[in-house]
Amino acid sequence: MKNMLVTGGSGFIGSNFIRYLLAESEFTGRVINVDKLTYAGNPESLEDVQTAFPDRYLFEKADICDAGEMERIFTAHDIDTVCHFAAESHVDRSISSPEVFIDTNVKGTFTLLECARRKGSDLKLFHHVSTDEVYGTLGETGYFTEETAYKPNSPYSASKAASDHLVRAYHETYGLPVTISNCSNNYGPFQFPEKLIPLMILNALEGKTLPIYGDGSNVRDWLYVEDHCRAIWCIMEKGVRGETYNIGGECEMKNHEIVERICGLIDDTGRTSPGVKRSLDLITYVKDRPGHDFRYAIDCTKIKTQLGWCPRESFDTGITKSVNWYLDNLTWVDRIKSGAYLDWIKSHYAD
């Protein structure tokens, strides 16, 4: 692996992955980050990487659905490895505007697979990053394994399921060396403030309401983003080509428990908004999301026993780090909220 194309590297997990890959893993090659810079992509999340690794990190602003551009990039940078994160990733947005999810998540993945296929034996690996949401919902008991049948319930998870199937099919049909990972909910630094954990941290700091869907009893399995990045690299290095690996934090939490924990941490730091006695008082229960999956829980025995990965952060350590990161990086947040980073993108990368 010498020249790795990372798609969606300016997003939440992709930016953490690139930092991990260059600063902490044994990878010695170059990273070419291809990102369209949608509302969710923020090059400022990688400014430190750009400075620390000027010879090993390159950025290309491009749409993964643009076959001509992808072909140019694969050739110009002699790409031999792909780690594919780029996606529309927000379930609520997929309910109100599903089309772009089909474009990017399905057509974009197809476009990349075709470029990878044309590389022939020069292509070492195509790793596809996916979600546990493809499996649908669980009741009170049971776990998703790699053998669980796909049963996606939202346009987001259906589009990710379609992309997983395409990646698998390219292995079976064309012998493309692929690996796939299906991971549970991530949290940590650089997550866009529309997602549950950063939204609650930032709203609590500003004394805004903390909206929780339904009665807050929906269960998710949470994983600190750096643990996800280590798992992906572990699969890329040691995973069997053609195989899928589930990744999870073995950390099931009800949504209301997460929000309550965040409230406690904010109050402990003394950063509770003026006029608010306890952040807990800001919690408001709102009408449930349509098709809201009740419970996700991952059985990650395969990656643990076969590849030797396990999470390092507990929820306690991970959520404390996350709250502290947002408190220390309010400028990053402000620039997103004010739209200042979009102005910066326009001035640097005119279309």
Residues lying near ligand NAD in the complex (CB under 6 A): 7-8, 10-14, 35-38, 40-41, 63-65, 85-89, 104, 108, 129-131, 160, 183, 185-186, 192
Residue with tokens 């993945």: 109
Instruction: At 79, list the tokens.
Output: 């790409």
- Check 80, 132, 227, 293 and give the catalytic one: 132
β-pairing verdict for 125-131 and 81-84: parallel
Mark whether 245 is an active-site residue. no
**Catalytic: 147?**
no
Active site residue 99: no
Nearest residue to 159 (alpha-carbon basis) of 216, 117, 104: 104
- CB neighbours of residue 213 within 10 Å: 17
| CA separation for the pair 266, 201 (Å, rounded) | 7
Distance of closest approach, residue 103 Cβ to ligand NAD, in angstroms: 7
C-alpha of 299 from chain center? 19
Q: Which residue lies nearer to ligand NAD by CB, 66 or 267?
A: 66
Q: How far is the CB of 161 from ligand NAD (least distance, A)?
A: 11
Residue 198 Cβ vs ligand NAD, minimum distance, rounded to whole Å:
11
132 with 144: CB under 8 angstroms?
A: yes
Which of 20, 135, 156, 326 is catalytic? The answer is 156
What span, in angstroms and rounded, lies between the C-alpha atoms of 117 and 120? 6
Helix (H, G, I), strand (E, B) or coil at 198: helix
User: 22 vs 73, which CB is nearer to ligand NAD?
Assistant: 73
State in angstroms the smallest separation of the CB of 320 from ligand NAD.
19
Using the minimum distance from each CB to ligand NAD, give the nearer residue, 53 or 156: 156
Closer by beta carbon to ligand NAD, 279 or else 341: 341
Q: Known catalytic residues?
A: 132-133, 156
